[in-house]
Amino acid sequence: MSWLAEAPALAGLEARDLARLAALHPMDLPPGTVIFRPGDPAQGYAVVLSGRVDVSLTGASGREMLLYSVEPGQSCVQTTFGLLSDAAYSAEAETARVTRLVVIPRGLFLELLDRSAAFRTLVFGAFADRMAGMLKLVETVAFTRAECRLAARLLALSERGPVQATHQELAAQAGTAREVVSRRLDAWARKGWVRTARGQVEVIDRAALSDLAQAEM
């Protein structure tokens, strides 16, 4: 079966374009695989079929911040921008879990973008959604306290059970320092809001964290 069956968003392309895409081979990557680093050129457009790719930025101080995650049906704004402008990556992308993806080579990507209205709609629609998310991130980091961001992130991550993440990973996702995360989690554990173990956080009092997540500066 062609990998295109796993990418329904591409179904609207013309038959000749689908045939060329079908010839591409998916890659199955283990967690922790680095896909690109700062300074790398954009080689192709990745279509994530399953799994998740995290795109992070590391500052001069060494502090890391999660910019966004790419899951099936989503795009990487850094890649789209790089393919269109020849700009090098400024962030790093790494698989967060077992991930299956297909890379559309730069030449084919630009050709499809030039002559396929359906492909342009797909690419720029995903690009617009991602940019909206980036602007929301900027707003959140600029105007929301770190503890509120951490509370909101824990609530989102814990919807399916205990959060499997280190303090450093949570800090990157909340846009703060690891020390801040550690202090907040210790305080919340003493209040009975969360229960912590090595590499794991279990949310006990969702109402308390929800109130904090919605608190204003």
User: What's the pTM?
Assistant: 0.69
User: Vertex 122, ends 116 and 123: CA angle to 5°?
Assistant: 90
Cβ neighbours, 10 Å, residue 77 = 21
pLDDT of residue 2: 86
pLDDT of residue 217: 44
pLDDT category, 61, cuts 50, 70, 90?
low
Q: Which residue has the tokens 């801040």?
A: 180
CATH class of 145-213: mainly alpha
**Do 86 and 79 meet the contact criterion of CB atoms below 8 Å apart?**
no
Examine domains 3-142 and 145-213 and report if their fold is the same: no
Separation of alpha carbons 201 and 88, rounded Å: 36
For 185, what's the count of Cα atoms within 13 Å in the CB-facing half-sphere?
26
Query: pLDDT by residue (tens digit) across 123-175?
Result: 999 999 888 888 877 767 766 788 888 998 899 889 888 999 889 888 888 87
Which residues on neighbouring strands pair with residue 152, listed in sequence order? none
Least Cα distance to 150 among 191, 194, 190 occurs for 194
Separation of alpha carbons 56 and 67, rounded Å: 5
Domain-wise residue ranges, the chain? 3-142, 145-213
pLDDT of 62 > 60? The answer is yes
**Do 96 and 52 meet the contact criterion of CB atoms below 8 Å apart?**
yes
Inter-axis angle of helices 106-115 and 117-143, to 10 degrees? 110
Query: pLDDT by residue (tens digit) across 22-44?
Result: 999 999 999 999 999 999 999 99
* Chain centre distance of CA 102: 17
Q: List the structure tokens of 131.
A: 């940019």
3-142 topology per CATH: Jelly Rolls (2.60.120)
Q: What percent of the chain has pLDDT over 90?
A: 57
Inter-axis angle of helices 167-174 and 146-157, to 10 degrees? 110
